[in-house]
Amino acid sequence: MQQGSRRSWRRALTVAAGSFAVVTALGVPFGLLWHALAPTVPVIDAGDNGIVVNDPSPEQYIAADGWLTLLGIGFGLLVAIVAWLLLRRDRGPALLLGVVAGAGVGVHWVAVPIGEMIGKDAYEQWRASAAQGATYLAPPEVHSLGPTLIPAFVAAIVLTLLAGWSNDPDLDHPGAQPGYGPNHGQYDEPYPSYNSTPAPQPVAGDPLSSGWPVGPDPTAAPAPPAPGPADQPRG
């Protein structure tokens, strides 16, 4: 049986930590993009009732969650495919752990806080000095936990599917047959031959011979029977 390539624990930890750090840092532009696309929410100062949404059917109130979900699907898909292609020699559980953890932390703890922080100071100042009946466009805000977990979920599925579709045992290279990677060439004949018996050779001087045993000629006269005991001459 073929032996898989052995990677050191130090290299595995380096891959996991490096991919985690890079994907987590990508949460910064992700948060800026989410803030730019998510719509603001129209609010009004209702006096004793506080700040309320100034819309009978506020779609903008949940639009931030919807945009985060859509962008999170693309983000998880992108980081998984890029990591799979760039870190070709380090595919495996360490890469999966680093990318999935980085996608979850980068969106939940980096992208969402940055996106909600932009414009929040001006909104708080308006709330402190607004008179009753004044309106304002509040910055987007995430209202549920589910959208922040979508990128990690998508990245885990994509990397798992890519590993399952790969037919190389070490996941180092996409091969055309098992053993394409570092174990390629270990065996001279990877698959057993079921036709190991050599074919019979044709008889020399007979160009029509196929090499198989030749049977009796049907047009030839039958041979005389062998003499029995009764046919022997008596002395």
% of the chain surpassing 70 pLDDT: 67
pLDDT of residue 60: 80
For residues 58 and 63, what is the distance between their CA atoms, to the nearest angstrom?
Answer: 9
Q: Which of 118-122, 188-192, 212-216 has the lowest mean pLDDT?
A: 188-192
List C-alpha distances in Å: 234 to 161, 227, 231.
94, 14, 9
Q: With 80 as the cut, is the pLDDT of residue 87 above it?
A: yes
Secondary structure (3-state) at 178? coil
Say which residue the tokens 């292609």 belong to. Answer: 85
pLDDT digits (tens, 9 = 90+) for 199-225: 555 555 555 545 555 556 666 666 666
pLDDT of residue 181: 45
pLDDT digits (tens, 9 = 90+) for 26-65: 999 999 999 999 999 899 998 888 888 887 667 887 899 9
Q: Are 84 and 157 in contact (CB under 8 A)?
A: no
* Cβ-based burial of 49 (10 A; exposed 0-12, middle 13-18, buried ≥19): exposed
pLDDT of residue 186: 45
In sequence order, the 6+-apart residues with CB closer than 8 A to the CB of 105 are: 20, 24, 27
For residues 76 and 107, what is the distance between their CA atoms, to the nearest angstrom?
Answer: 10
pLDDT of residue 201: 59
The tokens of 4 are what? 């898989």
The tokens of 23 are what? 């994907």
The residue ranges of every structural domain in the chain are: 9-40+59-120+147-165
